[in-house]
Amino acid sequence: MNEGKEKSGFLRLLELAGKKKTKLVAACALSVLSSAAKLVPYFTIYGIIVTMLGSYNDISGMDKNRIMLFTGITFAAALVYGICAYSSSALAHTAAYDIIYELRIRLLGKLGKLPSGFFTGKTQGGIKKILSDDTEQVEIFVAHHLCDIASSIATPVFTLIYLFVMDWRLALITLVPIIISLVLLTLCLVRPDKASLQIEMHDSQEAMQGTIVQYIHGMPVIKIFNRSLAAFRRYEGDINRFVSAVDKTARANAWPMSAYYVFFGAQLLFLLPSSAWILSRAESYIDYLPVALLFLLVGTGLREPMENMMQMVILSGRITEGVKRMDGILKTPELVCGGCNMPGSFDIEISGVSYSYTPGIKAVNNVNCTLGQGTITGLAGPSGGGKSTLAALLLRFFDPDNGVIKIGGTDLRDFSAETLSNLVSYVFQESVIFHDTVENNIRMGNKEASMEQVIEAAKAAEIHDVIMALPNGYKSVIGGDGAFLSGGEQQRLSIARVFLRNTPIVILDEATAYADAENEAKIQNAFARMAKDKTVLIIAHRLKTIEKADQILIMKDGHLLDCGKHMELLARCNEYKEMVDANERRNNWTIKGMESKV
């Protein structure tokens, strides 16, 4: 990408179009040609009339060959028009879909290279919108508008030049109504009170859309609280507000816009008297008459391409927004990876690490600690305290703002992406299962694994029996083949993946286990197996889980408050004691109050 000047909107789009530029230029040229061919009949009819004029009162003496020539030209022009219009559109569409395809591939490829943290705080829907909808906008623009713009500008311009050569006076007259209508249109768009109407229209439209979405999404709540009438009133009110904004804007613009249309169609009104006037003063009536007829004809033919041109100018502004959103992805810096291979040991050393999502608020604040190879570290603390951010930093979802994280003495940033993914693994809370066979889903962990290893991993994750009960066993396609897995089963399948990966460091989130009460014990068993002989960091919600851990880290407000064994912390850390107490209370709560404890 070129440094320095940032291109935007249309120019940036052409830049993104890259190699397809030639196709686009050809498409535009063909489009200009086709609209020129469309104007040909105006000239041939003019030619025929002139031919007839020579022998108007004695048609038999008319130059028939000339008329046949014009007929032939008209026919050829129809052919050229059909061919050019079609090939222009075909070329433009092909180029457009090629561009979209390449853009999508580039965007998707880029997504694969962005730090995982990029996706935090972004909805899948939002990213999908950029990939599908915004790129489609490019199609509409490239395939339709671009060529239309070219032809709708070129045609009137060439025609006007021709008219000026024929007779500059009448050409000027032809321009008069066009100029008046342009002035009217500009007035309409630029006046400040009109601008405020536009803003109100835009705002009320947004409000209406928001209300509609809430009306639908909130309907269960609305109904439960018997508030549907009130909600409906608001829904109705916002729709009315939008329509009345449309109404107001339309009324404010009605006169100038109508005048704009009237003048646009009024060429004849200006041309007829002036050409008659010039004719009456012409040296030879019969010599000048053809010129007058030409203007009457072509002048009226000019209206449509001019109208198109106006629309195109308005449309071309729309592309900017979508291009900007795509650049939001394309221009986000990628993580730079070093080339270091597996380290000799798997100690994790976190020194002076800070990270902020929003400037000024540190989610992790100057944390220092060491996780020894083969030890289990528990991570506890209130939600929002920075536990998951610390884990995300270990996985290099982000790079720390300050400080450094080292594995076996090497900075995370110096590992190659592949090495890092072979070093650390993580069981995500939301299990992602791909539309593929069970086997391939597990194999994601390690492409080269033997079938025995796959089965072994499935057994370790306590999912083997479930798989064997599926219609095609390991070959069943999940989601098809009648192979459906419950939430907990999907979770265990994704744990099997991690088993197969067999990395020396694992990060676990205990919440994963009890997202599904029925599978809780099974997932716990799998976790316990996974933790053997590894460097483990476990984010704990139930403190019992980490009672026997080698060390427990307490995080609150981004700070590492304390670090030690269970007994040590009980003795010295107030926060820990309070947490243990809250745990206790939570576990003993019953819906009917405390009086009848079991």
CB of 453 to other proteins, least distance (A): 15
**81 contributes a contact to other proteins by CB under 8 A:** yes
DSSP string, 302-328: THHHHHHHHHHHHHGGGHHHHHHHHHH
Nearer to other proteins, 328 or 352 (CB): 328
Nearer to other proteins, 364 or 536 (CB): 536
Closest CA to 85 of 38, 135, 25, 34: 34
CB of 7 to other proteins, least distance (A): 25
Find the binding residues for other proteins in span 132-171 (CB under 8 A): 132, 139, 143
Q: Applying CB under 8 A, which part among 24-32, 103-111, 166-174, 316-324 lies near other proteins?
A: 103-111
CB of 8 to other proteins, least distance (A): 25
DSSP 91: H
Token pair belonging to 124: 């899948």
DSSP string, 430-459: S----SSBHHHHHHTT-TT--HHHHHHHHH
Alpha-carbon distance 10 to 320, whole Å? 7
Nearer to other proteins, 312 or 543 (CB): 543
Nearer to other proteins, 4 or 333 (CB): 333
**232 contributes a contact to other proteins by CB under 8 A:** yes
**72 contributes a contact to other proteins by CB under 8 A:** yes
Closest CA to 542 of 584, 577, 507, 578: 584
Find the binding residues for other proteins in span 171-230 (CB under 8 A): 209-210, 212-230
Q: Applying CB under 8 A, which part among 160-168, 300-308, 355-363, 557-565 lies near other proteins?
A: 300-308
Q: Is 431 in contact with 382 (CB distance < 8 Å)?
A: no
Choice from 28, 48, 184, 495 touching other proteins (CB under 8 A)? 48
Choice from 11, 25, 68, 187 touching other proteins (CB under 8 A)? 68
Choice from 6, 161, 261, 317 touching other proteins (CB under 8 A)? 261
Alpha-carbon distance 88 to 32, whole Å? 9
**499 contributes a contact to other proteins by CB under 8 A:** no
**Residue 69 exposed, middle or buried by CB count within 10 Å (0-12, 13-18, 19+):** middle
Q: Applying CB under 8 A, which part among 191-199, 314-322, 463-471, 494-502 lies near other proteins?
A: 494-502
For the chain, the farthest-separated pair of C-alpha atoms sits apart, in whole angstroms, at 123
Token pair belonging to 281: 């003063």
**328 contributes a contact to other proteins by CB under 8 A:** no
Find the binding residues for other proteins in span 454-493 (CB under 8 A): 486-487
Token pair belonging to 593: 């109050």
Q: Is 495 in contact with 529 (CB distance < 8 Å)?
A: no
CB of 474 to other proteins, least distance (A): 18
Alpha-carbon distance 187 to 182, whole Å? 9
Find the binding residues for other proteins in span 402-441 (CB under 8 A): 417-418, 421-422, 425-426, 428, 432, 434-435
Q: How many CA atoms lie within 13 A of 549 on its CB side?
A: 30
**23 contributes a contact to other proteins by CB under 8 A:** no
Alpha-carbon distance 361 to 326, whole Å? 28
CB of 118 to other proteins, least distance (A): 9
